Structure 1
Amino acid sequence: MPAPERIPSRGLTEAGLRTLLAEGELTVLGRVRGASNAVLYCTVAHQGEERTCVYKPVAGEQPLWDFPDGTLAQREVAAYEISEATGWGLVPPTVLREGPYGQGMCQLWIEEPDPEPGSGGDGDPSPYGLPPLLALVEDEEPGDGWKAVGFAEVGEGRTALLVHADDPRLRRLAVLDAVINNGDRKGGHLLSAPGGRLYGIDHGVTFHADDKLRTLLWGWAGEPLTAEAAEVLGRLSAGLEPGAGLATRLAQLITTAELDALRGRVENLRATGRHPQPSGEWPSIPWPPV
């Protein structure tokens, strides 16, 4: 399946959107509730163009014991850099900039289309409030078009099988997560957009030098990578060579140890030719899944 066409946002190119996010005037409209860090819903306006966006100021980040170096905002921008280098465009345009509450991450707001009726895993709406690409099913095996993640407690002593769609867009995202060492890929971080686009958001806990991969996208664990993924990893390897443009940009966002670990993950994926499997040293699945 070819990568979805890069659809400009109402006439702006990707570069134009980055300029708008980086140089536009931010106006805070409100706060996104339920997040552990400050997430502000804003408009950004520049030279007659205006869009909605998310602004996450560094000052609003909660300290994390296992991410003492750098900021979550910088990691979000680094994830965008990797996403762009793959050519898959899996992360919305994201920049690091000054805002009303100091430096922070600014990312284009993705407006999801209204869900269609009957979009759950078995053709019916999910009773657990999961997004359409995820489901909890009563069977012990996933149905056609689905990949098993594992069994989960759903209350009253009952278990259900957590599954995700066997979707090429999700598979690309699973590769991206393995590269950036995503420690928190939940279902609520998957956003559908018009034109068949799928985005991943919330990449603050990424790029750790130790294995932290925690995701709902384990359905391909141990399976061979696609030829497309192998080609992408080759391009990433070249871009991460010392002195290359991608490596130079990332060096401003993550630590030297994290950049070295990133190179190691890419080379390991190329060497094995397979999707990674849970290490057993870290909880592999975030819960709750949304």
Structure 2
Amino acid sequence: MNAPSPHHLMPTDEDGEQLRLPVIRDAPVADVLEVLQEGDISILGRMPYSSNATFLVRIDHATTPTAAIYKPERGERPLWDFPSGLYRREIAAFELSEALGWHVIPPTVERDGPLGVGSVQLFIDADFTEHYFTLVAEDRHHGDLRRICAFDFIANNTDRKSGHCLASRWGPIYGIDQGLCFASDFKLRTVIWDFGGEPFDEELCTAIGSAADPPADLARWLRPDELSALAERAEWLADFGRFPDDDGGRRWPWPLV
């Protein structure tokens, strides 16, 4: 599966050449958040094949420009099983990842942008022909991928496609598109099952156990029942002590990439 993910095709210029965008690379998270929160936003274009309105934007802050992904609430399609405000779950995912010390979700903030309130997330400059199914073939990526796998179980991610795992050009792998996370009913859907049955190492198990007491800041983005369910999943996973398997073969998203 070497085809690029259609969710992350880069826009091109008038000559059909891929746009080269400014991106903050490997900077302290606090500095990135300041740029995302305070910089001036200009829309460069709409990302293709996205279910909801998703825009590539440029953010200019002092002498530090960067590309970012902007998802306004007004561009969301109504869903029967998730309330409006999916962008809030994108922010909750980032904050949970930071609280766990895993740093597998790009810095994400709430902004009142050109099309109203929504999430603004650091754009991950990556080789978009790479995705989970190609990355997992290399052992050097397994640390990040294990953390994303555990994160998705705790966050109850219902849509972890292969193309939602991006290997940044500065090294780490990030998970993107977390709008369909944190439901109180367990409905995990993911392509990451290669680690099923493997025991957690001590560091991973300790971090998972800490999520049984969710960060207080998550209450700004999630409902009380969703926070309680998150805590229960984390406690169960820490007690289980290893990566779950999908014995029934039903917990896969579609399309896979």
Place the TM-score, normalised by the shorter chain, in its bin: 0.7 to 0.9
More off after superposition, 210-219 vs 228-237: 228-237
Q: Kindly provide the CA deviation profile for residues 17-46 of structure 1, in whole angstroms up to 9, marking residues without a partner as x.
A: 111111111100100010000000100112
User: Structure 2 stretches of 5 or more lacking a match?
Assistant: 1-22
Are 1:263 and 2:234 counterparts?
no
Please tell me the root mean square deviation across aligned C-alpha atoms, in Å: 2.4
CA deviations 1:185-205 (Å, max 9, x no partner) are: 001101111342100000000
Secondary structure of residue in 1 paired with 2:211: helix
8 Å contact kept, 1:133–1:165: no
CA contact (8 A) 2:108 2:119 kept: yes
Secondary structure at 1:78 match in 2: helix
Query: CA separation of 1:209/1:170 partners in 2, compared to 1, >3 Å: closer, same or farther?
Result: same
| 2:28 pairs with 1:13 | yes
In the alignment, the residues of structure 1 paired with residue 141 and residue 170 of structure 2 have an alpha-carbon distance, to the nearest angstrom, of 19
Look up the equivalent residue of 1:175 and give its one-letter code: A
Say if 2:205 is the partner of 1:199: no
CA distance in 2, matches of 1:34, 1:113: 18
Write the distance in 2 (CA, Å) between the matches of 1:212 and 1:283: 10
Partner of 1:210: 185
Residues 224 and 274, structure 1, Cα contact 8 Å, conserved in 2: yes
For 1:38 and 1:80, locate their aligned partners in 2 and report how far apart those are by CA, in whole Å: 20
SS of alignment partner, residue 45 of structure 1: strand
Q: Secondary structure at the match of 1:84?
A: helix
Q: CA deviation at 1:228?
A: 2.1
Distance in 1, matches of 2:60 and 2:247, equals 45
Of 195, 211, 215, 1:220 maps to 195
Show the counterpart of 2:110.
96
AA in 2 matched with 1:201: I
Q: Distance in 2 between matches of 1:183 and 1:82?
A: 16
- The answer to which structure has the higher strand fraction is 1
Q: Which has the larger radius of gyration?
A: 1
Q: Contact (CA 8 Å) 2:212, 2:230: kept in 1 or not?
A: no
76, 80, 83: which is aligned to 1:61? 76
Name the one with the larger helix percent.
2
Measure the CA separation in 1 of the matches of 2:218 and 2:247.
26
CA distance in 1, matches of 2:250, 2:69: 29
With the length of structure 2 as denominator, give the TM-score of the two structures: 0.83
Whether the 8 Å CA contact 2:159–2:253 is kept in 1: the answer is: yes
Report the alpha carbon displacement of residue 167 of structure 1 after superposing the two structures with TM.
1.7
In structure 1, distance between residues paired with 2:79 and 2:232: 24
The one of 182, 188, 191 aligned to 2:157: 182
1:73 aligns with 2:72: no
Q: Judging changes above 3 Å, is the alpha-carbon distance between structure 1 residues 12 and 218 closer, same or farther for their aligned structure 2 residues?
A: closer
1:252 to 220, 234, 256: 220
Q: TM-score, normalization: structure 1?
A: 0.74
- SS of the equivalent of 1:134 reads helix
For residues 93-142 of structure 1, the C-alpha deviation after alignment (integer angstroms, 9 at most, x for no partner) is 10011001110010011111476xxxxxxxxxxxxxxx35416xxxxxxx
SS, match of residue 57 in structure 2: strand
Amino acid paired to 1:72: L
**Cα distance between partner residues in 1 of 2:26 and 2:220:** 30
Residues 230 and 33 of structure 1: is their aligned pair in 2 closer, same or farther, counting only changes over 3 Å? same
Q: C-alpha distance in 2, partners of 1:269/1:215?
A: 16
SS at match of 1:173: helix
Residue identity opposite 2:87 in structure 1: A
Q: What's the offset of the Cα at 1:274?
A: 2.1
Whether contact under 8 Å (1:134, 1:165) holds in the other structure is: no
Q: How does 1:37-186 map to 2 (within 5 A)?
A: 37-68=52-83, 70-113=84-127, 131=130, 133-134=132-133, 167-186=142-161
Judge conservation of contact 1:178–1:265 (CA < 8 Å) in 2.
yes
Amino acid at match of 2:103: G
- In 2, are the aligned partners of 1:80 and 1:91 still within 8 Å (CA)? yes
Does the CA-based 8 Å contact 1:94-1:108 persist in structure 2?
Answer: yes
Q: 1:166 to 1:27 in 2, by over 3 A?
A: closer
